[in-house]
Amino acid sequence: AQSVTQLDSQVPVFEEAPVELRCNYSSSVSVYLFWYVQYPNQGLQLLLKYLSGSTLVKGINGFEAEFNKSQTSFHLRKPSVHISDTAEYFCAVSSGGTSYGKLTFGQGTILTVHP
Amino acid sequence: ETGVTQTPRHLVMGMTNKKSLKCEQHLGHNAMYWYKQSAKKPLELMFVYSLEERVENNSVPSRFSPECPNSSHLFLHLHTLQPEDSALYLCASSRWGQALNTEAFFGQGTRLTVV
């Protein structure tokens, strides 16, 4: 069984400040990790993914995340946020195999960027 | 045209009604998924179809009935729903198969309200 915990339900931050959204997971098998973003009244858009290889992955819109196997974490970071980054962010894990579409999601973190 | 299209975007139905949600993907994927996003709960995987066969049903009540007539279309037939079924229903697709996997691509969702 897998589970994902997003440690912060809401993160307020000022524009141009750095931000980190925290995600921890548990799984008994190899995992594949994803961050998705959801803007109001929209579906989910993939920000970045870790499948294998380098533990530091870069995504769209200047976001990056680091896979830490020993700490079972996959925290999302951005060095300088914009107002347009205001959205809800979801960390998700897949056991992979034949499908990366079977996902277990965290509860979500609402990022609010203030001017 | 977007990769995964869901219709309708909004639906209000009474508890005795029968309605259907439609999802269409234009990405050449061979797996499709229904997810449910309720307020204050993590996204839940409901159904998985691979090559038009249902491969997973995550203990979803029988008042939800999926149908996948071909690899591009997925339906969710609804009947005698309860108010607690009100949620955002998200469709997703991906490529399924060893070494061919892709991440899940999501539609914009159908906001369902049961009155």
- The 10s digit of each residue's pLDDT in B17-36 is 999 999 999 999 999 999 99
Q: How far is A71 from chain B (nearest CA, A)?
A: 22
| Minimum CA–CA partner of A98 in chain B | B97
Check if A53 contacts B (Cβ < 8 Å). Answer: no
Q: Is A22 helix (H, G, I), strand (E, B) or coil?
A: coil
Would you write out chain A's pLDDT as a tens digit for each of its 115 residues? 789 999 999 999 999 999 999 999 998 777 889 999 999 888 999 999 998 888 999 999 999 999 999 999 999 999 999 999 999 999 999 877 667 788 999 999 999 999 9
Name A42's Cβ contacts closer than 8 Å, sequence gap at least 6.
B108, B109
| Minimum CA–CA partner of A40 in chain B | B108
What's the rounded Cα separation, in Å, for the pair B65 and A49? 31
Paired tokens of B7: 């219709």
Neighbours of B80 (CB within 10 A): 14
- pLDDT of res. B2: 66
Name A108's Cβ contacts closer than 8 Å, sequence gap at least 6.
A6, A9, A38, A88, A89, A90, B42
